[in-house]
Amino acid sequence: VTYPDLVVVGAGLFGLTVAQQAVEKAGARVHIIDVRDHIGGNAYSYFDEETGAEIHKYGAHLFHTSNQRVWEYVNRFTEFTDYVHRVYATHDGEVYPLPTNLGTINQFFRAHYTPAEAKALIEEQAGELAGKDPQNLNDKGISLIGRPLYEAFIKNYTAKQWQTDPSELPASIINRLPVRFNYDNRYFKDTWEGLPKDGYTAWFERMIDDPRITMELGVDFFDASQPYNKAALNAAGVPVVYTGPVDRYFDYELGDLKWRTVDFKEVRYDEDDHFGCPVMNFSDADVPYTRAIEFKNFNPERHDSQNHERTVVWEEYSRFAERGDEPYYPINTEADKDLYAKYVELERTVPNTVFGGRLGTYKYYDMHQVIDTALTAYEEQIHPMLAK
């Protein structure tokens, strides 16, 4: 084989951004491989034939950023709708607005508190454990927002996310529980937000629409029988950007980094609109899933091309990931952080390879953060390798 100037392992947002930059900034020839049968990594979506909904295959993806460089970059490849993210929660037979705000508080306490009154009440309730250093997530939650709101909206939801009683979870999982003392229930605080006008996949395809970029799907970097494998590329000294799991790269030789995953259960209803919103959280223990996504409702502007007799909903079940599961959220205990630092040491043994993205660096990144880190990694690490 004649190798290209750069091989990118993973067609997620990190890999696509780096590939696009390598062509634009260095005129490089780039080959992308991905073990999955589609582009876009975890941000991939597809259109559901029956309902016309755009289904986000690996969980709901909302684009939001306050980073001007990233906002300008993504707008080169897609327009965004004026979608504004809002989330609701079902608790004890009622639907409340989230994040916890004055609307949530006044509905919950059957009151008409002013912002100052609500603030004073929450401070008083949060004082229940005053002077004690919270030893677990339960006590931490109570000390942040008081027992009534904590037990209604956080406790059981968190137990479902972690499949662990919050009194057994470390306090460090939550640093703050934001409460808004006004009626603002806009979920994100960022300058810009929206959804890609004609879907995520159309956006991603435009990023690599250049004859100097080739892509092969269904190809595993660790499969020695295909030419773009780890051993062959390292032997030839070809520059590689690797966005798969860092522990897998080194054959788990120092141990496994821990992740949570989510299982999705699809449900279809014979109605136009089941929840009246795209995301419904379920705060109580009697519903086994954490939340449900009604995808049609992310794109009300597509009303005319959607089916109004049927809707599709995905219920989310959260659990610890085993090897072979999709790794979604890094657990990031102190042991995980130490282990990751040791893998970073090992990366020095492969100077032709840059590790990037959420799997390659064991970090939770939103899409805008992964694009930002990819632009920086290109400038600082990858461009110098291509210029040689």
Binding positions for ligand FAD, rule: CB under 6 A = 9-15, 33-36, 41-43, 58-63, 220-222, 243-244, 262, 328, 357-359, 365-368, 370
Tell me how crowded residue 71 is: count the other CB atoms within 10 A of its CB: 20
Q: Can you state the angle between helices 13-26 and 367-377, rounded to 10 degrees? A: 40
Tell me how crowded residue 46 is: count the other CB atoms within 10 A of its CB: 15
- Among candidate residues 11, 1, 4, 5, the one with its CA nearest the CA of residue 208: 11
The question of whether 291 is a catalytic residue gets the answer: yes
Name the minimum Å distance from CB 34 to ligand FAD: 4
Q: Strands 87-91, 279-282: parallel, antiparallel or unpaired by DSSP?
A: parallel
| Closer to ligand FAD by Cβ: residue 33 or 233 | 33
The question of whether 319 is a catalytic residue gets the answer: no
Residue with tokens 């049927």, as numbered in its chain = 310
Binding at 318: pick from Na ion, ligand FAD, none (beta carbon under 5-8 Å per type)? none
The question of whether 73 is a catalytic residue gets the answer: no
Tell me how crowded residue 8 is: count the other CB atoms within 10 A of its CB: 31
Q: How far apart are the first and last CA of the chain?
A: 21
Binding at 140: pick from ligand FAD, Na ion, none (beta carbon under 5-8 Å per type)? none
The question of whether 29 is a catalytic residue gets the answer: no
Rounded Cα gap, residues 70 and 134, in angstroms: 38
Among 34, 316, 340, 378, the one annotated catalytic: 316
> Nearest residue to ligand FAD, using CB?
41
The question of whether 260 is a catalytic residue gets the answer: yes
Name the minimum Å distance from CB 273 to ligand FAD: 21
Q: Which of 9, 16, 33, 60 binds Na ion (CB under 5 A)?
A: 60
The question of whether 186 is a catalytic residue gets the answer: no
Binding at 357: pick from Na ion, ligand FAD, none (beta carbon under 5-8 Å per type)? ligand FAD
- Among candidate residues 4, 34, 3, the one with its CA nearest the CA of residue 212: 4
Kind plus residue range of the DSSP H or E element containing 13: helix 13-26
Name the minimum Å distance from CB 133 to ligand FAD: 32
* Binding-site ranges for Na ion (CB under 5 A): 60
Q: Tell me the catalytic residues.
A: 176, 180, 260, 291, 316, 364, 366
